[in-house]
């Protein structure tokens, strides 16, 4: 099984593909050139040979006519020339007279016989016939022997000269060339294979180095940055990897910070309780009033601890996947009225005026519990971090896509350098003030998470000493 796996891995690898590519590029043109060149060589050689023989045959026909070969007693001169042609081209020459009778055959087989073939008849009609038979490897020619009457200019065909020559020598030449080409090609193939294997291994090396470096980073050995700059691609991958690693480190740091913050926050009320309990215990004959006062303080610390734990639980729930959202169609106007009604007593206590302004009826697909928590946190903050006789304006508006919620207050405002931190868990601009009024530093983190889970957005504008505006935008229809 692992053998197959390894084979598949190899076939799927970049190395293998490069090897195949190099071999194709290196070998295919060679084969094509060899086949193409050899083919055209044979054709070209046959055509040259044909035209050579044709011109020789034509010269002979002229001599045959001028020496009046068919009627002459001594034909030895012409016969010698016919023999010569036959020898030079390793072929057979035949002269056929007007009665289709073979009067001369350099092979001396058919002399005296009658030949009536298609070529002969065509040739008697004045045509020059050339034919190549690649199967039996010979060229055949039939050339008419014609005499032109000087006075009347009328042509008369006296006979036909037929030549057939073997093309074995051409074939032998072609085969010799093919063999040579094959040897060269084999040498090329082996060098290409050798070269492609070496080059592919070299080309793929940076990727192996990269995976090894990642492994080292994973195990904690070696450097904690990936840097392989051989190719633009590897450099880009390294950059992306390093930035991802950076993000993971930030996440890890923030997780550690969160844990230490949580422990610290949870410990603070416990320490207070311990101090209160110890001091009352160490007092002899402490009056009941003091006991009551201390117990009330301890009760307050318990409340604080409970609030921190509750906030933490909400936050943890928000951190889970968005699949946990319990979406339903909610009347936002009614929801806001309910929230404001619940917060009215706190506002009254702080002497803060609470006003709701709705521009239109709005209903949206949201998780009612989470959105309520988010909005409550914003309005509660606007009341908590306000001044005496201050105000909080809550405005609701919508278009066809989103609803917009604005929570504006006349409070203490947020310093500019704190604006980017207020959504962090446990971040408080003024720790002691926030503690005094019961803040945990988790409220805005919860709000932001809830808004983002609904694919919404939250923005803050603030001027210190003047007030703060939180703008929230949430889609009317939930997009999963």
Considering only 468, 472, 473, 478, the residue that binds ligand ADP (CB under 6 A) is 468
3-state DSSP assignment of residue 407: strand
Report which of 111, 189, 98, 104 is spatially closest to residue 147, judged by C-alpha positions.
98
Q: Which residues 353-412 are close enough to bind ligand ADP by CB under 6 A?
A: 377, 381-382, 385, 409, 411-412
Residue (102 or 340) nearer to ligand ADP, CB: 340
Q: Determine the Cα–Cα distance for residues 383 and 437; give it in Å rounded to an integer.
A: 11
Is the distance from CB of 429 to CB of 417 less than 8 angstroms? no
- Residues contacting residue 274 through CB under 8 Å, at least 6 positions apart: none
Which parts of 342-429 are beta strand (E)?
Answer: 353-358, 363-367, 391-398, 402-409
**Does the protein bind ligand ADP through residue 56 (CB under 6 A)?**
no
- Residues contacting residue 241 through CB under 8 Å, at least 6 positions apart: 214, 226
**Does the protein bind ligand ADP through residue 145 (CB under 6 A)?**
no
Considering only 58, 427, 455, 475, the residue that binds ligand ADP (CB under 6 A) is 427
**Does the protein bind ligand ADP through residue 124 (CB under 6 A)?**
no
**Does the protein bind ligand ADP through residue 440 (CB under 6 A)?**
yes
Beta-sheet pairing, 363-367 with 327-331: antiparallel
Q: Which residues 298-337 are close enough to bind ligand ADP by CB under 6 A?
A: none
Residue (162 or 392) nearer to ligand ADP, CB: 392
Distance in Å, CB of 336 to ligand ADP, minimum: 17
Distance in Å, CB of 399 to ligand ADP, minimum: 26
| Piece in contact with ligand ADP (CB under 6 A), picked from 20-28, 266-274, 354-362, 437-445 | 437-445
Return the residue nearest ligand ADP (CB atom).
Answer: 439
Query: How many other C-beta atoms can be found within 10 angstroms of the C-beta atom of residue 221?
Result: 9
Q: Determine the Cα–Cα distance for residues 385 and 347; give it in Å rounded to an integer.
A: 11
Distance in Å, CB of 409 to ligand ADP, minimum: 5
Residue (294 or 385) nearer to ligand ADP, CB: 385
**Does the protein bind ligand ADP through residue 439 (CB under 6 A)?**
yes
Q: Determine the Cα–Cα distance for residues 114 and 99; give it in Å rounded to an integer.
A: 8
Distance in Å, CB of 450 to ligand ADP, minimum: 13
CA separation, residue 142 to residues 75, 147, 165 (Å): 21, 16, 12
**Does the protein bind ligand ADP through residue 444 (CB under 6 A)?**
yes
Residues interacting with ligand ADP, by CB under 6 A? 377, 381-382, 385, 409, 411-414, 422, 427-430, 434, 439-445, 468
């Amino acid at each position: 099984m692992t053998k197959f796996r390894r084979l598949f891995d190899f076939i799927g690898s970049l190395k293998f593909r490069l090897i195949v590519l190099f071999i194709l590029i290196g070998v295919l043109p060679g084969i094509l050139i060899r086949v193409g060149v050899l083919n055209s060589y044979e054709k070209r050689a046959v055509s040259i040979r044909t035209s050579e023989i044709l011109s020789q045959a034509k010269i002979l026909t002229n001599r045959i006519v001028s020496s009046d070969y068919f009627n002459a007693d001594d034909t030895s001169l012409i016969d010698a020339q016919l023999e010569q042609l036959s020898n030079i081209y390793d072929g057979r020459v035949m002269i056929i007279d007007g009665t289709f009778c073979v009067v001369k055959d350099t092979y001396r087989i058919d002399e005296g016989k009658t030949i009536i073939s298609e070529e002969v008849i065509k040739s008697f009609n004045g045509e020059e016939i050339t034919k190549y038979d690649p199967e039996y490897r010979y060229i055949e020619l039939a050339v008419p022997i014609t005499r032109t009457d000087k006075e009347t200019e009328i042509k008369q065909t006296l006979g036909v000269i037929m030549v057939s020559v073997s093309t074995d020598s051409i074939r032998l030449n072609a085969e010799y060339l093919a063999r040579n080409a094959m040897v060269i090609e084999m040498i090329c193939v082996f060098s290409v294979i050798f070269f492609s294997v070496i080059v592919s291994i070299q080309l793929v090396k940076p990727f192996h180095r990269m995976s090894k470096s990642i492994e080292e980073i994973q195990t904690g050995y070696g450097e904690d940055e990936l840097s392989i700059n051989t190719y633009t691609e590897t450099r880009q991958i390294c950059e992306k990897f390093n930035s991802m690693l950076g993000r993971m480190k930030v996440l890890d740091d923030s997780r550690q910070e969160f844990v230490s913050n949580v422990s610290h926050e949870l410990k603070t009320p416990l320490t207070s309780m311990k101090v209160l309990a110890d001091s009352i215990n160490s007092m002899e004959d402490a009056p009941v009033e003091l006991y009551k006062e201390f117990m009330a303080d301890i009760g307050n610390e318990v409340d604080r601890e409970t609030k921190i734990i509750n906030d933490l639980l909400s936050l943890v729930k928000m951190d889970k996947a968005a699949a946990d959202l319990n979406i339903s169609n909610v009347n936002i106007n009614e929801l806001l009225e309910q929230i404001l009604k619940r917060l009215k007593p706190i506002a009254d206590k702080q002497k803060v005026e609470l006003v709701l302004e709705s521009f239109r009826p709005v209903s949206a697909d949201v998780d009612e519990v989470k959105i309520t928590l988010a909005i409550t946190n914003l309005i509660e903050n606007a009341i908590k971090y306000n001044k005496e006789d201050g105000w909080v304006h809550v405005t609701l508006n919508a278009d066809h896509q989103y609803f917009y919620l604005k929570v504006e207050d006349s409070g203490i405002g947020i310093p500019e350098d704190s604006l980017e931190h207020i959504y962090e868990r446990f971040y408080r601009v003024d720790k002691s003030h926030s503690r005094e009024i019961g803040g945990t530093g988790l409220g805005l983190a919860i709000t932001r998470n809830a808004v983002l889970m609904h694919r919404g957005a939250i923005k803050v504008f603030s001027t210190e000493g003047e007030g703060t505006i939180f703008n929230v935008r949430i889609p009317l229809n939930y997009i999963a």
